[in-house]
Amino acid sequence: MSYEHEMVGRVLTVERVRELNAKDFFYQILKENPEITKIYPGIEDPILEGSIDHHIHCYPDFVYRSQDMIDCAIDAAKAKMQAIAFKDHYNLSGGEAYLVQQYIDGMVKRGELEQGVTIYGGIGLNFGVRPDVVKVALKYPNMKMLWFPTFNSAGFFRTCGMTGGVHLVDAKQHVLPEVVEVMHMAKEAKVGIGLGHTDFFELLPLSEKAREIGCRCVLDHPLLELNKLTFDEMKQLAANGVYVGTYCQPMIPSIYQPVADPFETVRLIKHVGAECCIVGGDFGQVLHINSIDGLRVFVRACLAFGIDEASLNIALKDNPRKLLYLDDAPDAAAEAHRSADRRQQHVSHS
């Protein structure tokens, strides 16, 4: 009996795992892709310059992280990035971001850094989507992101075969009133929304409501197995104006997800189009690569396997600026609608 087409996770087959684990796979990469011989450390520098990573985990946090916020910010400044944002699953990182900003600005003033980097934070809503909590969080400086529930998400619970968790929609897929209120608050405050570790059952109505309201949202690492989506699902959500989070972790397998297809990321960018994608690192785990180093490897890999510099500039610079309302459009809400319409046109014609 053949098991080649048995599934490993949601989309990966045993056959593909065998291919990725073949003893000559390393040589196949080199032989079948001569472009990789043109890649060198530093080729990513002009792409990282002016880039934005809206999703970084750093200490202090509820678990240890590989770097603290100051160390990561220094790395980002040395890479000449425009901005970074620290994610906390459960709490507010906007105030911490303000303090890190003061530290980085002080280093620049003293001549210890050639240039600075803008530091943002946000709030994770794993304790519930509460408009009263969000209202207070939005008063903090350097607030630029809201993250819907991740490990407490009802959608995540469903994928684990459990019930409960924080719901974003009801049984009829109607977006809950408190979620709608928070979406309006995010739009008014010009703050981006990460849609969390939920499933397509919730994401589809959320994307439709986001388009109706005009708030700006991104799918949190939809290639990671913990909230895996298919390409067609992502394409459908992109048609509603939601950015597809093209995160670095799935391209760089680790102890946390050792069984993964790194080339899925390349296929995703080509499938939905760079204009629909936002690159985010999602690094910071103690058994993984440091955040900015991870971005470097990601960019090199993309260049090696057919994603050009123009596409990476869109996904690492242009779209994150729009997500965080840093674009120079005189009417940010109108520009959000125009961007969503352009993405919808791309998806419908691709």
Across the range 248-252, mean pLDDT stands at 88
Across the range 94-100, mean pLDDT stands at 97
DSSP string, 140-195: STTEEEEE--STTBHHHHHHTT---SB-SB-TT-PBPHHHHHHHHHHHHHT-EEE-
- CATH 3.40.1370.10 assigned to domain 44-349? The reply is no
Smallest CA-to-CA distance from 301 within 293, 27, 21 is with 293
Q: pLDDT at position 330, please?
A: 45
Instruction: pLDDT band for 267, please (50, 70, 90 cuts).
Output: very high
- H/E stretch holding 210 reads helix 200-213
Across the range 102-106, mean pLDDT stands at 98
**C-alpha span between 350 and 346 (Å, rounded):** 6
**C-alpha span between 24 and 9 (Å, rounded):** 24
State yes or no: pLDDT of 26 exceeds 90: no
Torsion of the alpha carbons at 296, 299, 304 and 306, rounded to the nearest 10: 180
Across the range 14-31, mean pLDDT stands at 90
Lowest mean pLDDT among 5-9, 28-32, 137-141, 171-175: 28-32
pLDDT above 90 covers a percentage of the chain that reads 82
User: Quick one: tokens of 191?
Assistant: 């703050």
Smallest CA-to-CA distance from 282 within 291, 273, 274 is with 291
* Domain residue ranges of the chain, discontinuous segments joined by +: 44-349
Q: For residue 120, is it left (φ>0), alpha (ψ between -120 and 50) or beta?
A: beta
**C-alpha span between 274 and 93 (Å, rounded):** 29
- Phi and psi at residue 245, in whole multiples of 5°? -70, 110
State yes or no: pLDDT of 1 exceeds 90: no
**Residue 115 Cα to chain centre, angstroms:** 25
Q: pLDDT at position 339, please?
A: 41
Instruction: pLDDT band for 337, please (50, 70, 90 cuts).
Output: very low
Supply the mean pLDDT for the chain.
92
Q: What is the pTM of this model?
A: 0.91
Q: pLDDT at position 349, please?
A: 53
Lowest mean pLDDT among 2-6, 53-57, 82-86, 221-225: 2-6
State yes or no: pLDDT of 168 exceeds 60: yes
Q: pLDDT at position 253, please?
A: 83
State yes or no: pLDDT of 64 exceeds 50: yes
State yes or no: pLDDT of 340 exceeds 70: no
Q: pLDDT at position 342, please?
A: 42
In the block, tokens 């280093």 appear at: 107
Q: pLDDT at position 30, please?
A: 82
Across the range 146-161, mean pLDDT stands at 94
Instruction: pLDDT band for 226, please (50, 70, 90 cuts).
Output: confident
Across the range 22-42, mean pLDDT stands at 88
- pLDDT tens figures, 269-280: 999 999 999 999
Q: Higher confidence at residue 349 or residue 213?
A: 213
Instruction: pLDDT band for 244, please (50, 70, 90 cuts).
Output: very high
- pLDDT tens figures, 178-216: 999 999 999 999 999 999 999 999 999 999 999 999 999
Q: Kindly provide the residue ranges of all beta strands, DSSP E only, lying in the chain, ordered along the sequence.
A: 7-8, 12-13, 52-56, 83-86, 118-124, 143-147, 192-194, 217-218, 244-247, 277-280
Instruction: pLDDT band for 95, please (50, 70, 90 cuts).
Output: very high
Instruction: pLDDT band for 333, please (50, 70, 90 cuts).
Output: very low
Across the range 43-63, mean pLDDT stands at 97
Across the range 294-299, mean pLDDT stands at 97
